[in-house]
Amino acid sequence: MNKKAILDILQDKQSTVKEFVEKEKIDFKDEASVAKLLAYYDSL
C-alpha cells in the first residue's frame, strides 16, 4: 500500500491522521511505522 491508499481508507479522520503522520514522521514503506499509524487511528 502507498500513502495515498492508506489515507483514503482513513478518510473519516483524515485531517487528524495527516497531522499525526507529519508529527511522527510515519514512513509508509515501514510496516512498524504503518502499524503505529493504525494503532493511533484505532484509538481515535
pTM, to two decimals: 0.86
pLDDT of 28 over the 80 cut:
yes
**pLDDT above 90 (res 1):** no
Contacts of 35-41 spanning 24+ positions with Cβ under 8 A: 37/6, 41/10, 41/13, 41/17
* Average pLDDT score over residue span 5-25: 94
Report pLDDT for 32: 96
Number of domains, the chain: 1
Confidence bin at 15 (pLDDT 50/70/90): very high
Q: How far apart (Å, rounded) are the C-alpha atoms in residues 37 and 33?
A: 6
Are the C-beta atoms of 34 and 28 separated by less than 8 Å?
Answer: yes
Please state the rounded mean pLDDT for residues 8-27. Answer: 95
- In terms of residue numbers, what domain contains 7? 3-43
Residue 6 cell numbers, joined: 492508506
Residues near 13 by beta carbon (within 8 Å), at least 6 away in sequence: 41, 44
Q: What is the pLDDT of residue 34?
A: 95
